[in-house]
Structure 1
Amino acid sequence: MLHFSSWKTVLIWLIVFVAALCAAPNLFTDASLPSWLPHKRVALGLDLQGGSHIVLKAERSDIVRERLESTVASVRGRLREAGIRYTGLAGTGQTIRVRITDPSEVDRAVTILTPVTAPAAGAPDPEVTLSKGNDGQLTLQITGKAIDRSLSATLTQSVEIVGRRAVEAGGIDPVIETRGADRLSVQVPGLADSQRFKDLLSQDGRLSFHLIDSSVSPQDAMRGTVPSRSRIVYSPDDPPDVYLVERAEVLSSADLGDFQVKPGNDEDSSILTFRFNPESARRFGELTRKNVGRSFAVLLDDQVIATSDIREPVTGDRGQIALNYSPEETEDLAAILRSGALPVTLTIVEERTIDPGLGAGSIRSGLVAGGVGAVLVIGLMVALYGVLGVIAGAALVVNIMMILAVLSLFGAPLTLPGVAGIVLTIGIAVDATVLIYERMREEVKGGMHLDQAIGVGYSRAFMTVVDANITTLIAAAILFYLGSDAIRGFAVTLAIGILTTAFTAFVFTRPLVVAWVRHRRLKHLPKSVHTDLFDGTNIRFMGIRRYSFTALAALSLVSMLAVTAIGMKLGIDFTGGSVIEVRSKQGPADLDDIRARLGELNIGDVQTRRLRDASNAIIRIEAQGGGENAEQSAITLVRSELADQYDFRRVETVGPAVSGELTKTATLGILASLAAILIYIWFRFEWQFAIGAIIATLHDVILTLGFFVVTGIEFNLTSVAALLVIVGYSLNDTVVVYDRMRENLRRYARMPLPILIDASINQTLSRTILTAATTLLALLALYLFGGEVIRSFALVMLFGVAVGTFSSIYIAAPVLILFRLRPKAFDDNEDGATDEKSGKATV
C-alpha cells in the first residue's frame, strides 16, 4: 500500500489546527472565546463596516505661490537692509527678477542675496539658484526639487492635522497615509456624518488678528491707493464687505488654544472662546494698550469673520469672538482650530462613502452567497465522487478557514469584492482536486493499482495546477497594482485563495485519500465515482474548426464594432462624476421627482435607477467640468435638496485628475497582465501555445466587452477586475488542455495534430465540464444572493467563464494547427491517424 509518513500527517493536521484557532475569533464573540485563543479578527474594509475613504490632493500651485512670496519678501528685505537700490522686483511661477539700479552694486547685491540660495538643512543641493544678466539684472530660480521637498514636508505635516479633524468629526481610528507626490489617502471607519468631515477639511483653518488700517478708506484703497504696509481683504458675506488691514499679524491660531463655543444672543449667533498662551497674552495686552480707540479684524483663511473695537487694554488669559454663526457652525470652526491649521490647501479628488447599515447588509449577502455556493459545489462533488467528493468538500471548508486565518493574522482588509473573491474561490478551488481525481481514475482505468495511481495522480497533476494557477496569480498581482482599496482586497483574497487551494488539494487531501484506501483495502475506485459518464467520448472538435473559428472571429469583429460605434457605459472611475445611493424615508423612491428636483440645480445630466428594493435608488451625476472642487459642490447641493426625504447610503465621487489616472492605470494593467501571461506561457510551452493562449484570451476579452455594450452594464474598476479574472480563468482552462496536448505529443510523435488535439480535449473533458460547473454554480449563488453592488460583477463573470471554457476548445486549439505546431510531414493525413504502436485510430 502507498506509504504516507506519520510525521507528515501530524504536521498537516497541526497546520489545520492552527488555522482553525486563528479563524475561530471570526465565528464567535470575545466573551465566548477562551483567553488563550488568538483574538484577531478579519479587518473589514470600509465598504463592509461603513465609513469614508477620501483622497486629498495638495495643491502644488499653493506651495509654489507661498515659496515665491516668501522668496520675494526675503530679497526685498535683504536689499533694503543693505541700502542697495533696486527696481522691477517681481516674481512669476518659480522665477524672481530684480534689477540693481547702480551697476557697481551688483556684486555686493549678489553677496547679500547668496544666503537665499543656501541649501535647506539636510538638502544636498540649493533651494534657489542665482544668476546675473545684463544691465544689473539678477534672476533667482526656485528649483523643482525645492518645491518637491516643501510639498513632501507639508503632506507629512498635514497627516496629523487631518487625523485630528477626522476624530473631531466623529471618526474612530482614522488611517491617513501619503500616496504619491501630492496625495493623502484618508480612511475613516464608521463615520456617521461624512459631510461634516468634508466641511472640516474644506477650510485651511488659518486664524489671524490684524489691526484695521483707517488711514485710507477701503474704497480709496480699491482704487489703487493701498499703503505698502496694508492689504485689502473681504468678508465671506454676499455681497462681501471690504476691509483694509495691516499685513502684520497681531496673533495667529498658533498663539491660542482651548477653543470652545458658547451660545450667543440668538440662534443665529454664537461666541467662540479661547485661551491665550502666556507670551501671546502679554503681547496682545501690550498691543491693545497702545492702540486703544482702534479696531482689529479676525481673519479665517484671509476672510474677515469678525471685527472689534479696542476700548481698553485686554488683560487676562482668555478671550472671545462674537460671530454671526449658528452654534453648529461655530462648533465646526472650533473643531478646525483645535486640530490646527493645514499648511496647504487640500482638495478632495475622490470620495467613497458607505453607510454602516449598507455595509452590514453586504456582509449578510456575502455570507448567504458563500454558504449557498459552498453547498452547491460540495453537493455536486459528493454526487459525482462519493467519498472522494466528501474529502474534496472537507478540503473546501479547510480552504475557506485558512483564507480567514491568513486575513486575520496579517490584518489584510476584507472588502466586498474580496467576499466575491472568496465565493469565486469556492467555485474554482475544486479544480485542482478534480484534476488529481481524474488523473487517478485514468491511471486505474489503464490498469494501474489504485495505491500507485494515487501517487501518479498527485505528482502528474502538480505542474498542471501550477501552470494553470500562475496565470491567475499574475492577474491578481496586476489587480493589486491598480491601486483601488476595494480591488486590492479582491486581489489579495484571490491570491490567498490560490495558495490555500494548492495546500488543501495537494497536502491536506492526500493523507485522507490514502487513509480511506487503506481502510477500505481498495484496489479500484468504487462505483460511487460517476465521472466515467465522460469516458469514451470521441467528439471531433477539430472537424468543425473552420466553421467555429470563422463564426467566433465574426462575433469578435461585431463586438469590436459595437464597442467602437456604440461604446460602453463607462462608470465614474473613468469619466469622473458622482454616484449616490439613496433610501426613501417613507415609501418607494420617486425617480421622476428626484430628476425634477435635481434638474433645477444646474449640475448637468442626472440619471436615476431604482434598485430591487423599491425604496432604494441610484443617482448618477455627470462630471461637473469645473475642477476638482466642483464635484463636491454638486454633492453638497444634492444633499441639501434631498436630505429631507432620503437617507444617503452610498456616495462615490471621482474628480477629473483621478479618473484620468484610473483610465491610464487600468489600460496599462490589462496590457501588462496579457504580456506577463504571454511571457510565462511562452517560457513553459512552445511559442505556438503562447500565441494560441493569447488569441483565445483576446477573444474572451473582446466578447466580454461586447457583453457590456449589449447589456448596458456599467464598466468600472470592478469590471476591470472581472476582465482580469476571466483572463486568468480562461488561461487556466487552456493550460490544462495544452498540458495534455504536450504530453500526448511526446507519446504519439506521428499522430496527426487534429486527431491528437481532439484526443487531448476528450481526455480532459470531464475536468473541463466539472470545473466550469462548480465555478458557474458559485457565481450563480453570488449573482442571486450577493447583493446589488456585486451583482453586475457576478453576471459578467458568469458570461466570461462560459466564453472562456468555449474558447479553450474552439480558439486556443485550432490556432496550434494554423501555426503548424509540428512539421507538415507529420500532418499529411488530418482526417485519420494511427497510433505508431498499435496501428489503430486513437482519440
Structure 2
Amino acid sequence: MLQIPLWKRVLIWGVCALAILIALPNAFYGRVESHNDAKAEIADAGGNSTPEQEAALALWPNWLPSGLMSLGLDLRGGAHLLAEVHVSDVYADRIDNMWPEVRDALRGARDQVGSVRRVTSEPGVLKVQISNPEGIARAVELVRALAQPVTSVTGMGQSDIDVRAEGDTISVQLTEAERAATDTRTMLQSLEIIRRRVDEVGTREPTIQRQGDDRILIQVPGIGSAAELKSLIGTTAQLTFNSVVNVTQDANAQPGPRQAVLPSLNEQGIYYIVETTPVVTGEQLVDAQPAFDQNNRPAVNFRFNASGGRSFGDYTANNIGRPFAIVLDDEVISAPTIQSHISGGSGIITGNFTVEESTELAVLLRAGALPAGMSFLEERTIGPELGADSIAAGQMASIVAMLAIAVFMIACYGWFGFLATVALGINIIMLLAILTLLGATLTLPGIAGIALTMGMAVDANVLIFERIREELREGKSPVRAMDIGFEKALSAITDSNVTGLVTAVIMFVIGSGAVRGFAVTMGIGIITSLFTAVYMTRTLIATWYAWRRPKKIVV
C-alpha cells in the first residue's frame, strides 16, 4: 500500500502547489492591499488612473492571485460598537402616521359619526373621539377597513391593526403579529442601512451582524475611533419637511395640538413651532449630494421620488411667502421662506455647514433613515499600534510553537519527524489558503486556533509513527510496517479529528465574537490536518523510500 498511484500523487502535489499560490499574497500583505485598493479605485474611475495609483498597482503582479485574509479588529485596529435598536419606537410612529387616514375615513361618514378629534393616549395607541356615540359601530367598521394583512409567514391571515370601541372613543394599535413582523423588518432595515452608511465611507471588511432580538454588533477595522463610527451610524437621520406655525425664543413655549417646539441647529436661542405631521419625509428621498449654494457656501442638494415630488410641489405652490422647516432628528437645520412653486421634486438644504458636515449629512440622507433610534451598550476603540502588537505577538507564538514541535518531532522520530514537520508547514499554508478563499476574518483567537492546529496535526503523526515502531519491533519489513502503521492508525486519527470538528462546529453555532474566530480556524485546521497527516506525510515518506531504498528504517 506504500505504492501510491501516479494520479493520486499528482493530485496531492497539485493541491499543495495551489494552496501555496493562494496563500502567497498574505506574505506581502501591505503591498497586495495597496495593489487591490489602487485597482478598485481605477475601476471606479472608469479606467483613469493617477501616477500614485499606477505605482501602487505595480507593487504586485496582475497575473498572480491577489486575495487576502481579512484581519479582525484585534489585529488591524478600529472601532467596536454593540447597539440596541429601540424597536418599540416604530410602533408609535406607525400608529401616529395612521391619524390622517383614520381622520379622513371618519370625516367621510360625518352624518353618522359626527365630528372627529384625536385625544391624548399612550405611545403606540391612537385614540379618536366622535361626537355621536350612536355611530361608534360604524366608526369601528370604517377604521377596520383600513387594516392590511400582516406581511410575514407567522402572521399570515391576520390583520395589522386592532380596533376597539370604548364608549365614544375608538382605540387603534398594532396587533401582536404585526409587532413581531415590524420587529423583524426594523432589524433587517437597520442592518442594511448601517451597512450602506459604513460602505459609503470606503471602510474595509466591516462586521455588521444581528445579535439577539434587538441588538446589532458593528466592528469596523481601520476607522479612527468609536466616536467617529457613532457619528456616522448613531443618528437616525430622520429628515422631514414640516409646516412652520411660529418662530420664538421661548424654549418653554406651549405648542398647539399636533405641534412641537424644535430648536434651530444653526441659530442659537431660536425655536420653531412646527406641525408634527410632515409634508414630506426622508423615506421619499432618492438622492442627496454635497454641493454649494449661490453664495458658494456648503449645502446639500436633494431629490424626491415621484410621490414626494408631487407632495412637495403642491405644498410650495400653496404656501408661497411662508417658511417651512427642514428637520433632521428633531432639530431645524434650515427654515427657508418659499419664494415660488418648486416643481420637479428637488431642492437644496442650506445652513452654516462646513464642507465635512455637508458631506456627512449627504451620506446619512443618501444611505437612508434608520427606522428607530439606537443606544450603544458597548463601545471601544483599538488603536493600530495595539493591532500591530497583536500580530507580532501572534506571529512570535506561532513561530515558537512551530520550532518547538519541529525540535520535538526530529528528536523523537529523526528523519520521519523532519518529514512530518514539512507536512505541518504545508498544513498551515493550506489553512491560510482556505481562510483566504472563504474570506474568513482572522482574529487573535484565530491565531490561537492555528497554534492548536499544529499540535493536533503532529498528534496524528505520533500515532502513525508509534504504530510503525511497534510493527518494526515485531520483525515486520519496513514497507509492511509503514503500510500497517498508516492503515491501523487511520481509525484512531479519524475518531479524534471528527470529535474535534464537532466541538468546533458547536462553538461556532453557539458562540460569538472571539469564540467563533477560534472555532473557524480550529475547524479548518482539523480538516487540513487530516489531509496532511495521512496523505501528505505518506506521500513524502513513499517518495523518500522509493528514492533511497533503505534496507532498514529508524523511527
* TM-score relative to the length of structure 1: 0.54
Residue 307 of structure 2 is aligned to residue 303 of structure 1: no
The residue that corresponds to 1:142 in the other structure is: 174
- Residue 491 of structure 1 and its aligned partner are, at CA, apart by 0.9
Q: How does 1:130-169 map to 2 (within 5 A)?
A: 130=162, 135=167, 139-169=171-201
Out of 253, 264, 274, which is 1:245 matched to?
A: 274
The residue that corresponds to 1:200 in the other structure is: 232
Q: Distance in 1 between matches of 2:221 and 2:204?
A: 6
* Deviation per residue, 1:542-598 (Å, 9 max, x gap): xxxxxxxxxxxxxxxxxxxxxxxxxxxxxxxxxxxxxxxxxxxxxxxxxxxxxxxxx
The residue that corresponds to 1:499 in the other structure is: 527
The residue that corresponds to 2:455 in the other structure is: 427
Q: Is the 8 A contact 1:169 1:193 kept in 2?
A: no
The residue that corresponds to 1:260 in the other structure is: 290
Q: Distance in 1 between matches of 2:300 and 2:485?
A: 78
- The letter of the residue matching 1:389 is G
Residue 4 of structure 2 is aligned to residue 23 of structure 1: no
Residue 508 of structure 2 is aligned to residue 470 of structure 1: no
Q: Distance in 1 between matches of 2:324 and 2:514?
A: 51
- The letter of the residue matching 2:261 is I
- The letter of the residue matching 1:154 is T
- The letter of the residue matching 1:27 is A
- Residue 231 of structure 1 and its aligned partner are, at CA, apart by 3.1
* Deviation per residue, 1:114-158 (Å, 9 max, x gap): 223331567723333546667566554522221232233334444
Out of 84, 94, 100, which is 1:67 matched to?
A: 94
Residue 430 of structure 2 is aligned to residue 402 of structure 1: yes
- Residue 235 of structure 1 and its aligned partner are, at CA, apart by 4.5
* Deviation per residue, 1:151-193 (Å, 9 max, x gap): 3333444445323432454524656455554344444343245
- Residue 400 of structure 1 and its aligned partner are, at CA, apart by 0.9
- Residue 17 of structure 1 and its aligned partner are, at CA, apart by 2.6
The residue that corresponds to 1:418 in the other structure is: 446
Out of 403, 409, 426, which is 1:375 matched to?
A: 403
Indicate how the Cα distance of structure 1 residues 273 and 18 shifts in structure 2: closer, same or farther if over 3 A, else same.
Answer: closer
Q: Distance in 1 between matches of 2:63 and 2:287?
A: 46
- The letter of the residue matching 1:59 is H
Q: Distance in 1 between matches of 2:203 and 2:95?
A: 37
Residue 476 of structure 2 is aligned to residue 458 of structure 1: no
Residue 158 of structure 2 is aligned to residue 126 of structure 1: yes
Q: Is the 8 A contact 1:41 1:408 kept in 2?
A: yes
Name the structure where helix makes up a greater proportion of residues.
Answer: 1
Q: Distance in 1 between matches of 2:166 and 2:123?
A: 22
- Residue 69 of structure 1 and its aligned partner are, at CA, apart by 1.9
- Residue 359 of structure 1 and its aligned partner are, at CA, apart by 2.8
Indicate how the Cα distance of structure 1 residues 438 and 77 shifts in structure 2: closer, same or farther if over 3 A, else same.
Answer: same
The residue that corresponds to 2:66 in the other structure is: 39
The residue that corresponds to 1:115 in the other structure is: 145
Q: Distance in 1 between matches of 2:101 and 2:173?
A: 14
Out of 68, 79, 94, which is 2:106 matched to?
A: 79
- The letter of the residue matching 2:203 is G
Q: Distance in 2 between matches of 1:330 and 1:132?
A: 47
- The letter of the residue matching 1:244 is I
Q: Is the 8 A contact 1:159 1:176 kept in 2?
A: yes
Q: Helix, strand or coil: the match of 2:105?
A: helix
The residue that corresponds to 1:732 in the other structure is: none
- The letter of the residue matching 2:519 is A
- The letter of the residue matching 1:247 is T
- The letter of the residue matching 1:118 is Q
Indicate how the Cα distance of structure 1 residues 389 and 341 shifts in structure 2: closer, same or farther if over 3 A, else same.
Answer: same
- The letter of the residue matching 1:119 is P
Q: Helix, strand or coil: the match of 1:116?
A: coil
- Residue 457 of structure 1 and its aligned partner are, at CA, apart by 2.1
Residue 238 of structure 2 is aligned to residue 210 of structure 1: no
Q: CA RMSD in A?
A: 4.0
* Deviation per residue, 1:307-361 (Å, 9 max, x gap): 4556x547697545333x6654454334323433322223334445433444344
- Residue 286 of structure 1 and its aligned partner are, at CA, apart by 7.2
Mind listing any 5+ residue stretches in structure 1 that lack a counterpart?
A: 530-843
- The letter of the residue matching 1:57 is E
Q: Is the 8 A contact 2:288 2:301 kept in 1?
A: yes
- The letter of the residue matching 1:26 is N
Q: Is the 8 A contact 1:169 1:197 kept in 2?
A: no
Q: How does 1:457-536 map to 2 (within 5 A)?
A: 457-517=485-545, 521-522=549-550, 524-526=552-554, 529=555
Q: Distance in 2 between matches of 1:484 and 1:303?
A: 38
- The letter of the residue matching 1:153 is R
Q: Helix, strand or coil: the match of 1:213?
A: strand
- The letter of the residue matching 1:61 is S
* Deviation per residue, 1:8-35 (Å, 9 max, x gap): 3333323323323332333356668776
Q: How does 1:793-804 map to 2 (within 5 A)?
A: none
Q: Is the 8 A contact 1:165 1:197 kept in 2?
A: no
- Higher RCO (C-alpha under 8 Å, 6+ residues apart): 2
The residue that corresponds to 2:46 in the other structure is: none
Q: Is the 8 A contact 2:290 2:299 kept in 1?
A: yes
Q: Is the 8 A contact 2:468 2:482 kept in 1?
A: yes
- The letter of the residue matching 1:393 is T
Q: Is the 8 A contact 1:425 1:497 kept in 2?
A: yes
Q: Is the 8 A contact 2:266 2:333 kept in 1?
A: no
The residue that corresponds to 2:13 in the other structure is: 13
Q: Is the 8 A contact 1:256 1:274 kept in 2?
A: no
* Deviation per residue, 1:787-832 (Å, 9 max, x gap): xxxxxxxxxxxxxxxxxxxxxxxxxxxxxxxxxxxxxxxxxxxxxx
Indicate how the Cα distance of structure 1 residues 519 and 197 shifts in structure 2: closer, same or farther if over 3 A, else same.
Answer: closer
- Residue 499 of structure 1 and its aligned partner are, at CA, apart by 1.6
- Residue 291 of structure 1 and its aligned partner are, at CA, apart by 4.9
The residue that corresponds to 2:135 in the other structure is: 105
Q: Distance in 1 between matches of 2:66 and 2:205?
A: 19
- The letter of the residue matching 1:108 is R
Residue 263 of structure 2 is aligned to residue 231 of structure 1: no
Corresponding residue pairs, total: 519
Indicate how the Cα distance of structure 1 residues 173 and 520 shifts in structure 2: closer, same or farther if over 3 A, else same.
Answer: closer
Q: Distance in 1 between matches of 2:441 and 2:341?
A: 54
Indicate how the Cα distance of structure 1 residues 327 and 135 shifts in structure 2: closer, same or farther if over 3 A, else same.
Answer: closer
The residue that corresponds to 2:351 in the other structure is: 322
Q: Is the 8 A contact 1:264 1:322 kept in 2?
A: no
- The letter of the residue matching 1:10 is V
Q: Helix, strand or coil: the match of 1:40?
A: coil
Indicate how the Cα distance of structure 1 residues 99 and 295 shifts in structure 2: closer, same or farther if over 3 A, else same.
Answer: closer
Identity of aligned residues (%): 36
The residue that corresponds to 1:533 in the other structure is: none
Q: Distance in 2 between matches of 1:370 and 1:140?
A: 63
- Residue 199 of structure 1 and its aligned partner are, at CA, apart by 0.8
* Deviation per residue, 1:523-552 (Å, 9 max, x gap): 6543xx5xxxxxxxxxxxxxxxxxxxxxxx
Indicate how the Cα distance of structure 1 residues 476 and 238 shifts in structure 2: closer, same or farther if over 3 A, else same.
Answer: farther
Indicate how the Cα distance of structure 1 residues 450 and 43 shifts in structure 2: closer, same or farther if over 3 A, else same.
Answer: same
Q: Is the 8 A contact 1:272 1:334 kept in 2?
A: no
Mind listing any 5+ residue stretches in structure 2 that lack a counterpart?
A: 33-57
